[in-house]
Protein backbone atom coordinates (compact mmCIF):
# COMPACT_ATOMS: atom_id res chain seq x y z
CA UNK A 1 0.00 0.00 0.00
CA UNK A 2 1.23 3.48 -0.89
CA UNK A 3 -0.46 6.77 0.01
CA UNK A 4 -0.69 8.92 -3.12
CA UNK A 5 -2.42 12.05 -1.81
CA UNK A 6 -4.89 13.51 0.65
CA UNK A 7 -7.91 15.48 -0.60
CA UNK A 8 -10.68 17.37 1.19
CA UNK A 9 -13.35 16.36 -1.34
CA UNK A 10 -14.18 12.62 -1.36
CA UNK A 11 -16.27 12.88 -4.54
CA UNK A 12 -13.33 14.41 -6.37
CA UNK A 13 -11.07 11.67 -5.07
CA UNK A 14 -13.57 9.01 -6.14
CA UNK A 15 -13.59 10.39 -9.69
CA UNK A 16 -9.83 9.82 -9.92
CA UNK A 17 -10.17 6.35 -8.38
CA UNK A 18 -12.83 5.46 -10.97
CA UNK A 19 -10.64 6.71 -13.81
CA UNK A 20 -7.66 4.67 -12.64
CA UNK A 21 -9.90 1.61 -12.23
CA UNK A 22 -10.87 1.95 -15.88
CA UNK A 23 -7.15 1.67 -16.64
CA UNK A 24 -6.78 -1.43 -14.51
CA UNK A 25 -5.01 0.25 -11.57
CA UNK A 26 -6.85 -0.35 -8.26
CA UNK A 27 -6.96 2.51 -5.75
CA UNK A 28 -8.91 2.92 -2.52
CA UNK A 29 -10.15 5.79 -0.38
CA UNK A 30 -9.66 6.13 3.38
CA UNK A 31 -10.75 8.88 5.79
CA UNK A 32 -8.08 10.78 7.72
CA UNK A 33 -8.07 13.33 10.55
CA UNK A 34 -9.16 16.92 9.90
CA UNK A 35 -11.77 15.89 7.32
CA UNK A 36 -9.31 14.71 4.67
CA UNK A 37 -9.47 11.58 2.52
CA UNK A 38 -6.39 9.64 1.45
CA UNK A 39 -6.00 7.94 -1.92
CA UNK A 40 -4.10 4.65 -1.53
CA UNK A 41 -2.40 2.67 -4.29
CA UNK A 42 -2.78 -1.04 -3.66
CA UNK A 43 0.02 -2.29 -5.95
CA UNK A 44 3.30 -0.33 -5.85
CA UNK A 45 4.34 -1.54 -9.30
CA UNK A 46 1.98 1.12 -10.70
CA UNK A 47 3.42 3.91 -8.55
CA UNK A 48 5.12 5.92 -11.32
CA UNK A 49 2.09 5.79 -13.60
CA UNK A 50 -0.34 6.58 -10.76
CA UNK A 51 1.66 9.61 -9.61
CA UNK A 52 1.90 10.93 -13.18
CA UNK A 53 -1.85 10.56 -13.68
CA UNK A 54 -2.52 12.16 -10.30
CA UNK A 55 -0.55 15.26 -11.30
CA UNK A 56 -2.62 15.53 -14.49
CA UNK A 57 -5.82 15.06 -12.50
CA UNK A 58 -4.94 17.72 -9.92
CA UNK A 59 -4.14 20.15 -12.73
CA UNK A 60 -7.58 19.65 -14.32
CA UNK A 61 -9.96 17.62 -12.10
CA UNK A 62 -13.03 18.62 -14.14
CA UNK A 63 -11.81 16.99 -17.33
CA UNK A 64 -14.63 15.05 -18.97
CA UNK A 65 -12.66 11.79 -19.00
CA UNK A 66 -12.88 11.54 -15.20
CA UNK A 67 -16.64 12.08 -15.16
CA UNK A 68 -17.04 9.56 -17.98
CA UNK A 69 -15.12 6.95 -15.98
CA UNK A 70 -17.38 7.50 -12.97
CA UNK A 71 -20.52 7.07 -15.09
CA UNK A 72 -19.12 3.92 -16.66
CA UNK A 73 -18.45 2.36 -13.26
CA UNK A 74 -21.57 3.66 -11.50
CA UNK A 75 -23.71 0.60 -12.19
CA UNK A 76 -21.07 -1.88 -11.05
CA UNK A 77 -20.34 -0.10 -7.78
CA UNK A 78 -22.25 -1.49 -4.79
CA UNK A 79 -21.65 1.55 -2.57
CA UNK A 80 -21.24 5.24 -3.21
CA UNK A 81 -17.78 5.26 -1.65
CA UNK A 82 -15.55 2.42 -0.54
CA UNK A 83 -13.24 3.27 2.32
CA UNK A 84 -10.21 1.14 3.04
CA UNK A 85 -8.74 1.54 6.50
CA UNK A 86 -5.00 0.87 6.38
CA UNK A 87 -3.27 -0.70 9.35
CA UNK A 88 -1.65 1.51 11.98
CA UNK A 89 1.93 1.06 10.79
CA UNK A 90 0.94 1.93 7.22
CA UNK A 91 -0.83 5.07 8.44
CA UNK A 92 2.19 6.10 10.52
CA UNK A 93 4.56 5.64 7.57
CA UNK A 94 2.22 7.51 5.22
CA UNK A 95 2.25 10.69 7.31
CA UNK A 96 5.99 10.73 7.96
CA UNK A 97 9.27 10.63 6.06
CA UNK A 98 12.36 8.52 6.79
CA UNK A 99 13.95 11.02 9.19
CA UNK A 100 10.73 11.43 11.16
CA UNK A 101 10.47 7.67 11.56
CA UNK A 102 14.19 7.22 12.32
CA UNK A 103 14.07 9.72 15.19
CA UNK A 104 10.94 8.11 16.61
CA UNK A 105 12.50 4.64 16.46
CA UNK A 106 15.73 5.90 18.06
CA UNK A 107 13.84 7.55 20.92
CA UNK A 108 11.77 4.40 21.48
CA UNK A 109 14.79 2.09 21.43
CA UNK A 110 16.64 4.31 23.91
CA UNK A 111 13.60 4.39 26.20
CA UNK A 112 13.22 0.61 25.91
CA UNK A 113 16.83 0.17 27.03
CA UNK A 114 16.16 2.72 29.77
CA UNK A 115 13.34 0.51 31.11
CA UNK A 116 15.63 -2.52 31.09
CA UNK A 117 17.97 -0.86 33.58
CA UNK A 118 20.43 1.00 31.38
CA UNK A 119 19.31 4.47 32.44
CA UNK A 120 22.63 5.43 34.04
CA UNK A 121 24.95 4.54 31.12
CA UNK A 122 22.45 5.95 28.60
CA UNK A 123 22.15 9.28 30.38
CA UNK A 124 25.91 9.39 30.95
CA UNK A 125 26.55 8.98 27.19
CA UNK A 126 23.72 11.09 25.78
CA UNK A 127 23.14 14.04 28.13
CA UNK A 128 23.98 17.62 27.19
CA UNK A 129 27.70 18.31 27.84
CA UNK A 130 28.73 19.50 31.28
CA UNK A 131 31.38 21.74 29.69
CA UNK A 132 34.07 19.89 31.61
CA UNK A 133 35.91 18.48 28.62
CA UNK A 134 32.90 16.61 27.26
CA UNK A 135 31.92 19.61 25.10
CA UNK A 136 34.17 18.08 22.42
CA UNK A 137 31.86 15.08 22.29
CA UNK A 138 29.72 16.86 19.73
CA UNK A 139 26.88 14.35 19.61
CA UNK A 140 25.85 15.46 23.11
CA UNK A 141 24.60 18.81 21.81
CA UNK A 142 21.86 16.89 19.94
CA UNK A 143 21.48 13.44 21.53
CA UNK A 144 19.80 14.86 24.65
CA UNK A 145 16.66 15.24 22.49
CA UNK A 146 16.37 11.44 22.26
CA UNK A 147 16.30 10.80 26.03
CA UNK A 148 12.87 10.42 27.70
CA UNK A 149 12.13 9.79 31.36
CA UNK A 150 8.62 8.30 31.28
CA UNK A 151 6.21 6.58 28.92
CA UNK A 152 3.93 9.63 28.86
CA UNK A 153 6.90 11.89 28.15
CA UNK A 154 7.91 9.68 25.20
CA UNK A 155 4.42 9.28 23.75
CA UNK A 156 3.59 12.98 24.01
CA UNK A 157 6.79 14.06 22.29
CA UNK A 158 6.71 11.36 19.61
CA UNK A 159 3.10 12.17 18.74
CA UNK A 160 3.87 15.86 18.17
CA UNK A 161 7.13 15.03 16.39
CA UNK A 162 5.20 12.69 14.07
CA UNK A 163 2.46 15.24 13.38
CA UNK A 164 4.67 18.33 12.91
CA UNK A 165 7.95 16.80 11.78
CA UNK A 166 6.15 14.47 9.39
CA UNK A 167 4.28 17.38 7.84
CA UNK A 168 7.47 19.39 7.35
CA UNK A 169 9.42 16.45 5.93
CA UNK A 170 6.68 15.51 3.47
CA UNK A 171 6.43 19.12 2.31
CA UNK A 172 10.04 20.35 2.37
CA UNK A 173 12.16 17.20 2.56
CA UNK A 174 14.42 15.47 5.07
CA UNK A 175 17.19 18.08 4.81
CA UNK A 176 14.94 20.88 6.07
CA UNK A 177 13.64 18.75 8.93
CA UNK A 178 17.21 17.80 9.87
CA UNK A 179 18.19 21.48 9.83
CA UNK A 180 15.35 22.41 12.19
CA UNK A 181 16.16 19.45 14.44
CA UNK A 182 19.87 20.26 14.76
CA UNK A 183 19.47 24.02 15.24
CA UNK A 184 16.64 23.76 17.73
CA UNK A 185 18.23 20.90 19.71
CA UNK A 186 21.41 22.98 20.00
CA UNK A 187 19.71 26.25 21.00
CA UNK A 188 17.09 24.75 23.31
CA UNK A 189 19.76 22.57 24.93
CA UNK A 190 22.05 25.52 25.61
CA UNK A 191 19.17 27.53 27.07
CA UNK A 192 18.06 24.76 29.42
CA UNK A 193 21.67 24.03 30.45
CA UNK A 194 22.37 27.70 31.16
CA UNK A 195 19.44 28.02 33.55
CA UNK A 196 19.20 24.54 35.09
CA UNK A 197 22.22 22.39 34.22
CA UNK A 198 22.40 19.20 32.17
CA UNK A 199 19.70 17.14 33.90
CA UNK A 200 17.15 17.26 31.09
CA UNK A 201 16.17 15.43 27.94
CA UNK A 202 13.41 14.98 25.40
CA UNK A 203 12.18 16.07 21.99
CA UNK A 204 9.96 18.84 23.31
CA UNK A 205 12.40 21.67 22.49
CA UNK A 206 12.52 20.44 18.89
CA UNK A 207 8.74 19.97 18.85
CA UNK A 208 8.23 23.59 19.90
CA UNK A 209 10.65 24.65 17.16
CA UNK A 210 8.53 22.77 14.61
CA UNK A 211 5.44 24.43 16.04
CA UNK A 212 7.03 27.87 15.66
CA UNK A 213 8.31 27.11 12.17
CA UNK A 214 5.00 25.84 10.76
CA UNK A 215 3.02 28.56 12.56
CA UNK A 216 5.15 31.43 11.27
CA UNK A 217 5.53 30.00 7.76
CA UNK A 218 1.74 29.81 7.53
CA UNK A 219 1.51 33.39 8.75
CA UNK A 220 4.39 34.94 6.78
CA UNK A 221 4.15 33.06 3.47
CA UNK A 222 0.87 31.10 3.34
CA UNK A 223 1.35 30.53 -0.38
CA UNK A 224 4.16 28.08 0.43
CA UNK A 225 1.57 25.58 1.64
CA UNK A 226 2.90 25.15 5.20
CA UNK A 227 0.51 25.80 8.06
CA UNK A 228 -0.67 24.39 11.36
CA UNK A 229 -4.25 24.26 12.73
CA UNK A 230 -4.93 27.06 15.21
CA UNK A 231 -6.11 24.67 17.99
CA UNK A 232 -2.64 23.05 17.92
CA UNK A 233 -1.00 26.45 18.39
CA UNK A 234 -3.36 27.45 21.20
CA UNK A 235 -2.87 24.16 23.04
CA UNK A 236 0.92 24.17 22.78
CA UNK A 237 1.25 27.84 23.77
CA UNK A 238 -1.07 27.27 26.72
CA UNK A 239 1.03 24.28 27.80
CA UNK A 240 4.16 26.41 27.48
CA UNK A 241 2.71 28.99 29.88
CA UNK A 242 1.37 26.34 32.28
CA UNK A 243 4.78 24.66 32.33
CA UNK A 244 6.38 27.64 34.04
CA UNK A 245 4.03 27.06 36.98
CA UNK A 246 5.41 23.50 37.37
CA UNK A 247 1.92 21.92 37.77
CA UNK A 248 1.61 19.00 40.20
CA UNK A 249 5.31 19.21 40.94
CA UNK A 250 6.24 18.18 37.40
CA UNK A 251 9.79 18.92 36.30
CA UNK A 252 9.42 20.57 32.89
CA UNK A 253 12.24 21.90 30.68
CA UNK A 254 10.57 25.27 30.20
CA UNK A 255 13.63 27.08 28.83
CA UNK A 256 14.05 24.36 26.21
CA UNK A 257 10.41 24.81 25.20
CA UNK A 258 10.65 28.60 25.04
CA UNK A 259 13.93 28.81 23.15
CA UNK A 260 12.92 25.94 20.87
CA UNK A 261 9.82 27.92 19.92
CA UNK A 262 11.88 31.06 19.33
CA UNK A 263 14.42 29.19 17.20
CA UNK A 264 11.66 27.74 15.01
CA UNK A 265 10.11 31.18 14.51
CA UNK A 266 13.49 32.66 13.57
CA UNK A 267 14.19 29.88 11.04
CA UNK A 268 10.75 30.51 9.51
CA UNK A 269 11.50 34.24 9.33
CA UNK A 270 14.74 33.51 7.47
CA UNK A 271 13.12 30.98 5.13
CA UNK A 272 9.99 33.00 4.56
CA UNK A 273 11.31 36.52 4.14
CA UNK A 274 15.06 36.43 3.63
CA UNK A 275 15.46 33.43 1.34
CA UNK A 276 13.89 33.06 -2.05
CA UNK A 277 12.18 29.72 -2.67
CA UNK A 278 13.99 27.39 -5.06
CA UNK A 279 12.55 27.38 -8.57
CA UNK A 280 11.05 24.09 -9.70
Q: Phi/psi of residue 13, each to 5°? A: -60, -40
Q: How many Å apart are CA 145 and CA 253, to the nearest integer?
A: 11
Looking at 127, 144, 153, 257, which residue is catalytic?
Answer: 257
Q: Indicate the angle between helix axes 151-160 and 204-220, nearest 10 degrees.
A: 20
Sheet of strand 27-31: strand arrangement: 2-7, 37-41, 27-31
Known catalytic residue at 198 = no
Known catalytic residue at 174 = no
Looking at 143, 172, 184, 204, which residue is catalytic?
Answer: 204
82-91 burial, b for 16+ CB within 10 Å, e for fewer? eeeebeeeeb
Q: How many Å apart are CA 147 and CA 152, to the nearest integer?
A: 13
- List residues with catalytic annotation: 204, 257
Amino acid sequence: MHRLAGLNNPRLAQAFIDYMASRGIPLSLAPEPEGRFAIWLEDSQYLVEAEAELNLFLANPNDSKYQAASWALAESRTAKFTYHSPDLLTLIRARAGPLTLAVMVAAMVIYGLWLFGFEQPLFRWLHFPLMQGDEWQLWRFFSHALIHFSTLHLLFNCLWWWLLGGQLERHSGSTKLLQVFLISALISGFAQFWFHGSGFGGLSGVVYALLGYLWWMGWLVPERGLAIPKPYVVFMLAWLVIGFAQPMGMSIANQAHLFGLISGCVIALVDGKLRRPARS
